[in-house]
């Protein structure tokens, strides 16, 4: 089988070498397309491949239709909103992700960005500490769990609300020591900082709006390492205009990035490129898991991490 690693944002070399080793040791052919700049390069590269490993790379119907041999796509990472699942199902393609593999890297970035915000972008002015500030986690998957774990070291009370887990489910996650919120309103109302951790789905798109943000303190901090589409940008701009101490830090650049930057240069920060999972460790974890999942799929039909029907 021919396996293509297609990453417009390439993995670290040790991860690529590890993927290649796993694929070739199982008797498959390994090819890669890195740092490509347009869809036509991907369309060309998928023509004769049986399996595809990607990151945030967009894989739509057109790409699947250009790849008649394609049997499996593994998104080396958590969120798979970049893959058209319906088209994959219609083309008979199995889609998987590698849940949890890059969670620690993203969780560490949450703390890096919280400190950066609370220390006023390291501009030398008087900042604030994280300790004893209440941290709200909106959704409670792998990244949020790692955040909760690290937060204990900072002595931060952690609140969690999940749209998909019940209050009892959340309470059972006792090892993370979170205080469970019954509603998203309770979460935002009880938190000094809120960190977003839900996937992008139709139900979560624009779920963070004025009505929720207005429940946070005047000097609240919103952290987004998930997806830009979760936030109603105009509502967040309005809150930041109304509250001169409210801050936003994000790893997913908003559409209105320039406006945020112009209006709130000292209270807004966006990483230049989504880099939450951009560590050698996370690249190896997610990349090698993806390669192993492909090998297992071809070896014995293992579909454990399948996300489409």
Give the binding site for ligand 3PG (CB under 6 A): 9, 55-56, 77-79, 102, 274, 276-278
SS3 59: strand
Euclidean distance between CA atoms 76 and 89, whole angstroms: 19
**Smallest distance from the beta carbon of 219 to ligand 3PG, in angstroms?**
28
Give the 3-state secondary structure of 215-276.
CCCCCCEEEECCCHHHECHHHHHHHHHHCCCCEEEECCCCCCHHHHHHHCCCCEEECCCCCC
How crowded is residue 157: how many other Cβ atoms within 10 Å of its Cβ? 17
94 exposure class (CB count in 10 Å sphere: 0-12, 13-18, 19+): buried
Residue nearest to ligand 3PG (CB): 77
- Residue number, 42 or 78, with CB nearest to ligand 3PG: 78
**Smallest distance from the beta carbon of 134 to ligand 3PG, in angstroms?**
25
How far is the first Cα of the chain from the last one, in angstroms, to the nearest whole number?
Answer: 23
- Residue number, 7 or 247, with CB nearest to ligand 3PG: 7
Euclidean distance between CA atoms 235 and 254, whole angstroms: 13
**Smallest distance from the beta carbon of 305 to ligand 3PG, in angstroms?**
13
Among residues 16, 80, 5, the alpha carbon closest in space to that of 305 is found at 80
- Residue number, 102 or 104, with CB nearest to ligand 3PG: 102
- Residue number, 227 or 267, with CB nearest to ligand 3PG: 227
How crowded is residue 110: how many other Cβ atoms within 10 Å of its Cβ? 27
**Smallest distance from the beta carbon of 253 to ligand 3PG, in angstroms?**
13
- Residue number, 55 or 284, with CB nearest to ligand 3PG: 55
Euclidean distance between CA atoms 74 and 290, whole angstroms: 6
- Residue number, 1 or 150, with CB nearest to ligand 3PG: 150
């Amino acid at each position: 089988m021919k396996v293509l690693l297609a990453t417009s944002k390439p993995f670290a070399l040790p991860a690529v070498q590890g993927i290649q080793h796993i694929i070739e040791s199982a008797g498959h052919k390994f090819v890669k397309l890195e740092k490509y700049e347009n869809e036509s390069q991907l369309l060309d590269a998928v023509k004769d491949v049986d399996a595809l490993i990607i990151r945030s790379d967009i894989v739509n119907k057109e790409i699947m239709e250009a790849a008649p041999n394609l049997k499996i796509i593994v998104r080396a990472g958590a969120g798979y909103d970049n893959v058209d699942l319906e088209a994959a199902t219609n083309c008979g393609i199995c889609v998987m992700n590698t849940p949890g593999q890059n969670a620690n890297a993203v969780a560490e970035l949450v703390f890096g960005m919280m400190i950066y915000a609370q220390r006023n972008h390291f501009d030398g002015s008087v900042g604030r500490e994280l300790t004893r500030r209440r941290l709200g986690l909106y959704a409670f998957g792998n990244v949020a769990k790692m955040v909760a774990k690290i937060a204990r070291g900072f002595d931060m009370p952690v609140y969690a609300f999940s749209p998909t887990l019940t209050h009892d489910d959340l309470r059972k996650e006792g090892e993370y020591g979170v205080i469970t919120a019954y509603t998203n309103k309770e979460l935002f109302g009880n938190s000094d900082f809120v960190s977003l951790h839900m996937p992008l789905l139709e139900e979560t798109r624009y779920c963070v709006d004025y009505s929720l943000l207005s429940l946070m303190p005047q000097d609240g901090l919103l952290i987004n390492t998930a997806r830009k589409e979760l936030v109603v940008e105009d509502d967040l701009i309005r809150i930041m205009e109304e509250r001169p101490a409210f801050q936003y830090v994000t790893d997913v650049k908003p559409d209105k990035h320039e406006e945020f930057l112009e209006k709130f240069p000292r209270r807004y920060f966006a990483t230049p490129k989504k880099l939450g999972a951009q560590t050698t460790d996370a690249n190896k974890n997610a990349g090698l898991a993806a390669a192993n999942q492909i090998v297992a799929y071809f070896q014995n039909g293992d579909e454990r991490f399948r996300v489409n029907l």
